[in-house]
Chains A and B, each alone.
Chain A
Amino acid sequence: MGATDAVFISLLEDSAEELYEQAPCGYLSTLMDGTIAKINTTLLDWLGLSRAQVVGRMRFADLLTVGGKLYHETHFAPLLQMKGEVSGIALDIKAAGKQRMPVLVTSKVKTSDDGEPLLIRTTVFDARDRRAYETELLRGRQAAEEARRQAEADRERLQEALAVLQQNLLPAELPKVPGLEAASYYHTASPDLLGGDFYDLFPLDADRWAFFLGDVCGKGPQAAAVTSLTRYTLRAAALHDPDPVTVLSTLNTVLHERYTSGDTRYCTAIFGVLNPVDDHVSVHLASGGHPSALIQHADGTADYLPTPGGMLVGVLPGAQFETARTQLFPGDTLLLYTDGLTEARTGPDRELYGEDALRAFTAAQPAAGPQVLITALTGLLTGFGDGLDDDTALLALGVPAPLPTPVSEDLR
């Protein structure tokens, strides 16, 4: 006889009575008023009570905790009376050792042949593991909620910090310069990456003003840190000695020393000084690796102010910079831009927009001053759509044309 057969025989000998008493769940039968008539050993063990203490002496509700008892009276018992059965109700029983034990209770009313209710049969399942599982789920959900709240708060703080940093990179508004009109525009290619383009316009002394515009290599926080360093270095250097080559050389030294070990960080920039004299403004500027400035003349032409050979700023010790001088007369506008504009891709073949196209576009605009030119260029940039994938900064400085003489005073 095999071992399997022996197990099978012993199962057959397991009487119904034995199964009832030692079942893996609690059984009890009560009269219709709740008085316990029969209860199995499993449940008695859970309760820590003897059969004599319970049978005929206690009602089912007496086994429950206060909360359980309340729920039993208000929900369980009425539902059972109405439907004849209830199943899977979570209740707490008073277990041995004054412990509260979560259980799942199912009850069914036994009726006589003519439908008269006789007694209530109840099974009681140990729900401790399940309750612990549910508590864990709840705790997990609360933890996830908390983490989400925290993440949202963090993101808000980060966005505030980014906004403050970004404001640090560009002037909130350009200052009013006597005898000069100024306008600017900044196109951000991606809202969550701090840009690397920068510009500024500020007084040097009572007579002179300085301006700069440039582009730091890269994007994001590292680039923004270089942008900030660059902007304040240029401002401080200009106040010390505004000679454009000296200013760019100072910036070159600062950037090169800071970034020479490890990651290379550099920028391109044009720095210049404006000196309003009589009817015009003289301009002296220097370029470090930056695309040439463009001048829109009052007569409807446009020309670059070439600064070839000026080197990137911050890469090499003793880098060389190219200077240029010009004079802006009424109606002339000097345009500085970053290469987001000229490197934009246009048309179905994604051709480079390029410097020639920019000059032609500018010459075709009415020579009506910086704001009008910037507005036209903003429209041009918008028209590039996704062909424009870089940050782009524009700064235009011009001498206003004299107001046209009213016809009525023209008495020839």
Chain B
Amino acid sequence: MSPLTITSRDAATGPVLEITGDLDYESAPDLRKSLDSLTLTSGQLLVLDLAGLEFCDSSGITTLLAARNLATELGGGMALAAVPANTARILSIIGLDRVFTIHPDTSTATNPSSTAR
């Protein structure tokens, strides 16, 4: 078990949240709180950088969906970057690999030319 840490920074495209550690039933509310305090303006892209994500259970998936819903409500977009293999496998089983915009890494995700949706 490794604790969840969430680091926020701003890229040209919009906010980037770096999520490291375990995203599970215990820690998912922390990410939910970070999302609630996020400022995302219309047309911006929220990027969740999952390069340091070590574990993600169904509560974690729920929170990723919540992030997507929130970004959509605010008139922006949402993308995942650097999804670890195990989480990518789960996203594929549950069909969400076709729902989330997924980039190989954050620099690709935050490249202004790639944000066209």
Contact = CB atoms under 8 A, between A and B. Distances in A.
Contacts of A339: 93
Nearest to A319: B95
Interface stretch (B15-23, B36-44, B58-66): B58-66
A219 B57 CA distance: 12
- Interface residues of B toward A: which range? 10 to 19
Interface centre among B59, B92, B95 (most CB of A within 10 A): B95
Contact of A315 (B59, B65, B86, B92): B65
A311 B99 CA distance: 9
Nearest to A342: B93
Contacts of B65: 264, 266, 315
A391 to B, nearest CB: 11
A289 B94 contact: yes
B66 A264 contact: yes
Nearest to B32: A263
Contacts of B59: 217-218
Contact of A291 (B61, B86, B93, B96): B93
Chain B, interface SS category:
helix
Interface residues of A, number: 22
A400 interface: no
A320 B95 contact: yes
A312 B99 CA distance: 10
Interface string B69-97: 10000000000000000100000111110
A290 B99 CA distance: 16
Contacts of A32: none
A320 B58 CA distance: 20
B95 A309 contact: yes
B117 to A, nearest CB: 16
A217 B94 CA distance: 12
Interface string A191-231: 00000000000000000000000010111000000000000
A263 to B, nearest CB: 8
Contacts of A268: 94
Contact of B93 (A219, A289, A319): A289
A316 B99 contact: yes
Nearest to A219: B25
Contacts of A309: 95, 98
A236 interface: no
B96 A312 contact: yes
Given A264-B65, A264-B66, A218 B94 contact: no
Nearest to A322: B95
Contacts of B61: 217
Nearest to B96: A312
Interface in A319-363: 319-320, 339, 352
B94 A312 contact: yes
A352 B86 contact: yes
B98 A264 contact: no
Contacts of A290: 93-94
A310 interface: yes
A218 B96 contact: no
Nearest to B69: A264
A291 B92 CA distance: 10
B74 to A, nearest CB: 16
Nearest to A223: B58
Interface in A250-284: 264, 266, 268
Nearest to B86: A352
Nearest to B64: A264
Interface in B86-117: 86, 92-96, 98-99
A215 B66 CA distance: 19
Contacts of B66: 264
A312 B95 contact: yes
A352 B57 CA distance: 13
A310 B95 contact: yes
Contacts of A291: 93
A264 B62 contact: yes
Nearest to B58: A217
B95 A311 contact: yes
Contacts of A319: 95
A102 B78 CA distance: 77
A358 B98 CA distance: 26
19 contacts: A215-B58, A217-B58, A217-B62, A218-B58, A264-B69, A266-B62, A266-B65, A288-B95, A289-B95, A290-B93, A291-B93, A308-B92, A309-B98, A311-B96, A311-B99, A312-B94, A315-B65, A315-B96, A316-B99
Given A289-B94, A315-B96, A352-B86, 12 more contacts: A217-B58, A217-B59, A217-B62, A218-B25, A264-B65, A264-B66, A268-B94, A288-B95, A291-B93, A308-B92, A311-B94, A315-B65
Interface of A: 215, 217-219, 264, 266, 268, 288-291, 308-312, 315-316, 319-320, 339, 352
